[in-house]
Amino acid sequence: MEKEPTRVLVTGAAGQIGYALVPMIARGLMLGPDQAVILHLLDIEPAAEALNGVKMELIDAAFPLLKDVIATTDVMEACEGVDIAIMLAGFPRQEGMERKDVMSKNVSIYKAQASALEQQAAENCKVLVVANPANTNALILKEFAPSIPEKNITCLTMLDHNRAIGQIAEKLNLHASDVKNVIIWGNHSSTLYPDVNHATVTTTDGVKRVRELVADDHWLNKELITTVQQRGAAIIKAWKLSSALSAASAACDHIRNWVLGTNKGSWISMGVYSDGSYGIQHGLIYSFPVTCKNGEWSIVQGLKIDEFSRAKMDATEKELIEEKELAYSCLGQSI
């Protein structure tokens, strides 16, 4: 019997990442080659014509798995019955804008969209926030959609995870698929911490630790970390636009692993609510290593954390606590 189509909401669908992401979803790269989808595309009124253009292209591509496309500027209509919500909509930082102004715009968007999802989405809807500040937008969404289980609200750090894998593979002249179990801890920002202490590489001589094979602590403890933290800015400098293709691909990786499960012996990085694991403040949306099974993620437990890692994990946690305070002050509420 054919499976029911999965309804996938993409907010900010007329934007750059949206344009790269929707064909990936329609081709089965997010939910698998046997899962039909119905795309719900949301954008704002000034982008309505562009959004319609995206819908026209989706129709023209005649994707076999794509059963329908709903393109709308009405948030309530967009959220109706969705099983998965990919939140790309956000207000970008513009020249001369203070951090607080950007936060204030985004917090209001996420408060409103939380309420629409809470009222309209399917039970057990899984949410992935991509728009920046991704962790704090997800936190606001979680706080203002209390009936959505907190385990269902996540943010994207898989792009940073993939970036770290890509750098290691380049350094060792291997393929990305040979590298696994890097970790991104913390905030999707320039304080994120790519940790390679548990990462391994499959070679013709068997599985080796990345630290052993790279054998260059300066590169691992400095260059790699800075490169991953600053990669977004480097892409903007080179391409003149912010990363879209890699962000869309990472969003597919995030949802595919979450829904279909992580490979045996592997984990991914996901921004999820903290249950206090590794001493991280309870309730923050913080990126941890997770494994996924039966549509549920679990934080990988018991990894040894050295002093170097501890300091970096605490620094990115501190930034998230400050962002949370700023977000609440924008809403005129105390924590």
Question: Which residue out of 40, 188, 198, 254 is catalytically annotated?
Answer: 188
Which of 244, 252, 272, 280: binder of ligand NAD (CB under 6 A)? 244
Least separation in angstroms between CB 112 and ligand NAD: 7
Q: Give the C-alpha separation, 318 to 315, whole Å.
A: 5
What number of other Cβ atoms are within 10 A of residue 326's Cβ? 17
Site for ligand NAD in 133-162 (CB under 6 A): 134, 156, 159
To 10 degrees, what angle do helices 99-120 and 134-144 make? Answer: 40
Instruction: Give me the least distance between CB of 232 and ligand NAD, in Å please.
Output: 6
| 210 is a site residue for ligand NAD (CB under 6 A) | no
Q: Is 12 in the site for ligand NAD (CB under 6 A)?
A: yes
- Looking at beta carbons only, is 82 or 109 nearer to ligand NAD? 109
Nearer to ligand NAD, 192 or 292 (CB): 192
Closer Cβ to ligand NAD, 12 or 28, answer by number: 12
CB environment 279-307: b (16+ within 10 A), e (fewer): ebeebbbbbbbbbbeeeebbbbeebeeee
Q: What's the DSSP call for residue 277?
A: G
Q: Are 78 and 70 in contact (CB under 8 A)?
A: yes
Q: Please say which residue, 134 or 210, places its beta carbon nearer to ligand NAD.
A: 134
What are the two backbone dihedrals, phi and then psi, of residue 47, each rounded to the nearest 5 degrees?
-105, 10
- If one asks whether residue 235 binds ligand NAD (CB under 6 A), the answer comes out as no
102 binds ligand NAD (CB under 6 A): no
Number of residues that bind ligand NAD (CB under 6 A): 28
Mask for 21-60, x = binds ligand NAD (CB under 6 A): ---------------------xxx--x-------------
CB nearer ligand NAD, residue 105 or residue 211: 105
Q: Does 276 bind ligand NAD (CB under 6 A)?
A: no
Spell out the residues 6+ positions from residue 46 whose beta carbon is closer than 8 angstroms to its own: none
Active site residue 218: no
8 Å CB contact between 136 and 159: no
Let me know: does 214 contact 171? Beta carbons within 8 Å.
yes
Helical (H) or strand (E) element with 225: helix 224-239
Shortest distance (Å) from residue 16 CB to ligand NAD = 4
Q: Residue 101 CB, nearest distance to ligand NAD (Å)?
A: 15
| Binding-site sequence positions | 12-18, 43, 93, 99, 106, 130-132, 163
131, 192, 284, 320: which one contacts ligand NAD (CB under 6 A)?
Answer: 131
Q: What are the Cα distances from residue 16, in Å, to 6, 11, 13? A: 23, 12, 8
- Tokens 């400050």, residue located: 322
- The residue (of 44 and 65) whose beta carbon lies closer to ligand NAD is 44
114 in contact with ligand NAD (CB under 6 A): no
Q: CA–CA separation, 219 vs 63, rounded Å?
A: 44
Q: Which residues are annotated as a binding site for substrate?
A: 93, 99, 132, 163
Q: Any contact of residue 186 with ligand NAD (CB under 6 A)? A: no
Q: Phi/psi of residue 223, each to 5°?
A: -60, -45
Rounded Cα distance, 85 and 78, in Å = 10
Task: Choose the stretch contacting ligand NAD; rule: CB under 6 A; options: 28-36, 64-72, 126-134, 201-209.
Answer: 126-134
Q: Is 196 exposed, middle or buried (0-12, 13-18, 19+ CB in 10 A)?
A: buried
Q: Which residues carry out catalysis?
A: 188
Binding site for ligand NAD (CB under 6 A): 11-12, 14-18, 42-44, 47, 88-92, 109, 130-132, 134, 156, 159, 188, 242-244, 247
